[in-house]
Amino acid sequence: MTTINVTLVGASPLLMHNNQCVDPLNPWKKKIAAITGKRKKTESDYQELYRLEFIAGLYIGDEGPFIPGRCFRRCLIEGAKKDKNGTRFQTAISVLNDAVLQYEGPRDAKAMWETGEFHLTTVVGNQRNSIMRTRPKFDTWECTFELYFDDSDINLEDIELALERSEQLGICDGRAIEYGSFKATIVAPVLA
DSSP per residue, 146-184: EEEE-TTT--HHHHHHHHHHHHHH-SSB-GGGT-S-EEE
Mean pLDDT along residues 150-157: 90
Confidence band of 130 (pLDDT split at 50, 70, 90): confident
Q: Is residue 164 predicted with pLDDT exceeding 90?
A: yes
Confidence band of 92 (pLDDT split at 50, 70, 90): very high
Strand 182-189 versus strand 2-10 pairing type: antiparallel
Residue 143 sits at the vertex; the CA angle it makes with 176 and 141, to the nearest 5 degrees, is 60
The answer to whether the CB of 89 falls within 8 A of the CB of 163 is no
Confidence band of 52 (pLDDT split at 50, 70, 90): very high
Q: Is residue 95 predicted with pLDDT exceeding 70?
A: yes
Mean pLDDT along residues 82-109: 94
The H-or-E segment that residue 33 falls in is helix 27-36
Mean pLDDT along residues 66-79: 95
Structural domains in the chain plus CATH codes: 2-15+67-105+138-189 (3.30.70)
For residue 49, what pLDDT is reported? 95
Confidence band of 189 (pLDDT split at 50, 70, 90): low
Q: Between 69-81 and 156-169, two packed helices, what is the crossing angle to 10 degrees? A: 100
Q: Is residue 126 predicted with pLDDT exceeding 80?
A: no
Q: What is the average pLDDT value for the chain, to the nearest integer?
A: 92
pTM: 0.89
Please name every residue paired with 8 in a beta bridge, in sequence order, or none if there are none: 143, 184
